[in-house]
């Protein structure tokens, strides 16, 4: 089973939350999705996000976008996603969401897709007001 929806983490970005320094890991996943599937995909993630899987992986926020047949999945996490992925992949919750998403989400380039890291966008610029 392929899993185009979770990938290795992007670089840390330091931010302040209620006076405390925090690290936020941001990962942007790019894939393909029929725009008519957006409601179904949102429902799948809504169901999963209400459960234990986000905490297992360390996900603190998720935003899904679509544009002309493309799917963009922005994940924010409290720690590098790789730290939680090994544990999450053993969970039936992981298998369940990936099985459901396989119907709607496909790799951006199926010819070169070998694994989740192939779906990760590479950040080349970042700015934050101080």
- pTM to 2 decimal places: 0.79
Alpha helices of 1-130 — where are they, by DSSP H?
Answer: 38-49, 53-57, 81-88, 92-102
Fold of 12-119: Alpha-Beta Plaits (3.30.70)
> 38-49 and 92-102 helices cross at what angle (nearest 10)?
170
How crowded is residue 120: how many other Cβ atoms within 10 Å of its Cβ? 17
Alpha helices of 19-91 — where are they, by DSSP H?
Answer: 38-49, 53-57, 81-88
| Helix, coil or strand: residue 81 | helix
| Helix, coil or strand: residue 61 | strand
Break the chain into its structural domains and give their ranges.
Answer: 12-119
The per-residue pLDDT string of the chain (130 residues; one tens digit each, 9 = 90 and over) reads 444 444 434 444 444 345 445 678 899 999 999 999 999 999 999 999 999 999 989 999 999 999 999 999 999 998 877 777 778 888 999 999 999 999 999 999 999 988 777 898 999 998 888 8
């Amino acid at each position: 089973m392929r899993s185009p929806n979770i990938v290795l983490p992007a670089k840390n970005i330091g931010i302040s939350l209620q006076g405390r320094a925090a690290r936020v890991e941001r990962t942007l996943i790019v894939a393909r999705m029929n725009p008519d599937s957006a409601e179904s995909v949102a429902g799948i993630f809504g169901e999963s996000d209400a459960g234990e899987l986000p905490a297992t992986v360390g996900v603190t926020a998720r935003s899904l976008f679509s544009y002309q047949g493309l799917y963009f999945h922005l994940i924010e996490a409290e720690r590098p996603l790789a730290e939680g992925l090994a544990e999450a992949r053993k969970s039936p919750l992981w298998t369940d969401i990936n099985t459901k998403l396989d119907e709607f989400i496909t790799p951006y380039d199926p010819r070169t897709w070998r694994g989740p890291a192939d779906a990760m966008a590479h950040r080349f610029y970042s700015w934050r007001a101080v």
